[in-house]
Structure 1
Amino acid sequence: MDYTRTSAPGFCQAKRFSSVSSRSVSSRSVSSRSVSSRRALLAGVWLLAGLLSVPFPGPGQLQASESGTPRTVRDALNRPVTLTVPPERIVTAGRAMIMTAGVLWAFPGVPDRTVGLGRNTQGPANFLEVTHPRYNEITLLERTVGPEQVAALRPDLVVLKSGVRESLGRPLERLGFPVLYVDLETPEQYDRDLIMLGAALDQEERGRELARFFRETTRAVTARTAGVPREERPSSLLIYHRQAGGQVSFNVPPDGWLQTRLVEMAGGTPLWRGANPGGGWSTVSFEQIAAWDPDTIILVDYGGEAPSLRDGLARQPRWRQLRAVQEDRFYAMPRDYYSWDQPDVRWLLGLQWLARQFHPRLFTGEPLEEEIRLFFSTLYGIESRSFEELIAPVLAGDLP
């Protein structure tokens, strides 16, 4: 399917509009009053999307849906999970909740059937809240939620990251609740998990459509960057700025994380490969950054301050000695509500942005703005007016 011409079933065709941002756009706050107006705006969007995206059932199908149909789905851990479809009381919580919720929100009707959701702890505003008119009716759960709190919501489907099975999932399994584990850490896992969630949510065609969109968008980038010779791949450093206890640190991702894959797929050379074989962010000194002296530096900050932090660092004498700073290739990773580098659905935007930073000539005449609009249209049915109201005001980072 050509997504530049036709978006996902039930959503309107993506269109081209005027430029949404300039380089180093500043993030703007989302007030409670603005959230209320945006919820009202999105009510119509979600209603239309839900009505048009799911085929009207025939008599037999309607009867099955009303009574609930048992279905067995294999999850990311290859466990057979038997559940009733369509599920009516969905919970997703625990670590990395924005990643599971971001995917679930792409299935029409699922936000309305979500009864429990982990609290958002990333960024200045909450995408899930501003795009769901009845968000306040959902029970919000802490990151350290226990099984008793989830069980009290009487869920008929619990969607969790596989990494929280021991702490949260296994106790819920013992209580008899259907727990579906997803990974959502790599492009390959996204492909599998989207299809699997489609089956679990009784929206198999939607799951396949989303998987196809991610797969084809990724291939549209890698088909071009794969042929770039090694000597033309810019040496790159992606660093996460972290401030805790008054101390600032710069951190690189592990070799196996999506951030490293994104740089490689976009046609760059991650200089930190081999420096962090562990399972989490690893702190590096400025002396190590200077020794690497990369062609390109990408600064990540999950609090939404990457542009201002980058500007401040670039004014410091020692940072001004770095090649990337001197050649104006010190970039703030873009974001809307969440940063585009992580294994949230927005990694697809991060890949397209990185490829254009590394190899702009490969994407001449293909504005990133159109890809951003197509992304939000295909996943969430967010079109012209809604995009200008919900997305454009919070875009930040080094956007063309």
Structure 2
Amino acid sequence: MRKLIFMLFLLMGVALYAISVIDDLGRYIEIDNPPERVIIAAPGVTGFFTYLGLENKIVGVTDWDSFALSHEVEKIGNLIPLNIEKIISLNPDIVFLTGGFQESEIPKLEQFNIKAVVINPNTFEEVFRDISLIAAIFSEEKRGSELANEFRKKILEIAKKTFSIPLDKKPRVFYAMITGDVKEIWTCGTGSFLNQAITYAGGVNVAAPYTGNNGWFPVSPEFVLDTQPEIILVPFYYDGGDVEVVNKIMEYAPFKELPAIKDGRVYAVDGNLFAYANPDFIKIIENLYSIFYGE
């Protein structure tokens, strides 16, 4: 009888932990127990785990994830194609991916009964939602709700300060991601999280009237000349790269009459920070607000 009661309580405990979630691809996923071994196959997802204090669950990341520089975790290789053999060897309870180019990797994982969850936010609101989603997967709903609300509060504190600034007093901003020379520029328009970040921080994104895949699209130097930005933001990705990218813009002869060049308002920003929509959205907006208004 005691054994039967014990088994009933055990089964009840398992049932209490079982949850169902819908990921950012709209996929319905059942999770029987809070995961203990996690592989993050998309660097942008890692920021959610550090924000939620779930770093100890991570057993593997891609070769492109800076998390491995400061933590003892296994590297699983590239984002695509995923090294399924390596992933299986780490015996994960769950693998987190992003959308778009990684979607084709999901069936490969499911073939080996590995649960896959897609986290693919592209707005402040979607980051807010995904904080709670990931927390729920690990049975940390209360903490997830508290941190999600704290995230929203910090974002809106800055947004409220900039909302009352007249439009003609806000700086005209251009984000210049240079892939080669200055003739090859990608920028962020409507539909990108950086467009939203620039707006919340009190800037006017000169590329906002346009869009592309996830809000990103290529532009020519003529586009920059036509839009006359007062501030140019240029991402860099390695130590010392900040000076290089700023000089590349400042020394480009066709840009010499731009307001941003004449006023010396070309700023290098951390490309690794600005690359992903995750809870670091707070740091991005704080950084931008400081650049725009010197606070």
Report TM bin, short chain: 0.7 to 0.9
Residue 280 (structure 1) shift: 6.1
Report if aligned partners of 2:183, 2:221 keep a CA contact under 8 Å in 1.
Answer: no
Partner of 1:145: 81
Report if aligned partners of 1:159, 1:182 keep a CA contact under 8 Å in 2.
Answer: yes
Partner of 2:43: 98
Q: Deviations over 1:252-285 (max 9, x none)?
A: 1242111111111112111112343444643222
Q: Deviations over 1:271-305 (max 9, x none)?
A: 11234344464322222212221111111234452
TM-score (norm 2): 0.83
Q: 1:340 to 1:73 in 2, by over 3 A?
A: same
Structure-1 separation of matches of 2:23 and 2:189: 25
Partner of 1:253: 188
Alignment of 1:62-73 (within 5 A): 64=13, 69-73=17-21
Partner of 1:350: 284
Report if aligned partners of 2:236, 2:270 keep a CA contact under 8 Å in 1.
Answer: no
One-letter amino acid of the counterpart of residue 273, structure 2: S
Tell me which of 313, 321, 326 is aligned to 2:257.
Answer: 321
Report if aligned partners of 1:73, 1:82 keep a CA contact under 8 Å in 2.
Answer: yes
Partner of 2:220: 285
| Residue correspondences, number | 284
Structure-2 separation of matches of 1:164 and 1:177: 19
Partner of 2:172: 235
Report if aligned partners of 1:300, 1:339 keep a CA contact under 8 Å in 2.
Answer: no
Partner of 1:77: 25
Structure-2 separation of matches of 1:225 and 1:68: 45
One-letter amino acid of the counterpart of residue 228, structure 1: I
One-letter amino acid of the counterpart of residue 35, structure 2: P
Partner of 1:276: 211
Q: Deviations over 1:164-212 (max 9, x none)?
A: 5631113323443222221222111111111011010122223223212
Report if aligned partners of 1:87, 1:201 keep a CA contact under 8 Å in 2.
Answer: yes
Structure-2 separation of matches of 1:141 and 1:180: 19
Report if aligned partners of 2:122, 2:214 keep a CA contact under 8 Å in 1.
Answer: no
Structure-2 separation of matches of 1:356 and 1:178: 41
Structure-2 separation of matches of 1:302 and 1:334: 6
One-letter amino acid of the counterpart of residue 76, structure 2: L
Q: 1:248 to 1:267 in 2, by over 3 A?
A: same
Q: What secondary structure is seen at the aligned counterpart in 2 of 1:143?
A: coil
Structure-2 separation of matches of 1:74 and 1:218: 25
Q: 1:120 to 1:165 in 2, by over 3 A?
A: closer
Q: Deviations over 1:68-124 (max 9, x none)?
A: 94322232234332223321221221xxx211122123333x433323321116xxx
Structure-2 separation of matches of 1:166 and 1:308: 35
Q: What secondary structure is seen at the aligned counterpart in 2 of 1:141?
A: coil
Q: Deviations over 1:127-148 (max 9, x none)?
A: x12432x23xx24232223473
Partner of 1:45: none
Q: What secondary structure is seen at the aligned counterpart in 2 of 1:340?
A: coil
Structure-1 separation of matches of 2:286 and 2:269: 12
Structure-1 separation of matches of 2:213 and 2:102: 20
What are structure 1's unaligned runs of at least 5 residues? 1-59, 364-400
Report if aligned partners of 2:229, 2:259 keep a CA contact under 8 Å in 1.
Answer: yes
Residue 301 (1) aligns with residue 236 (2): yes
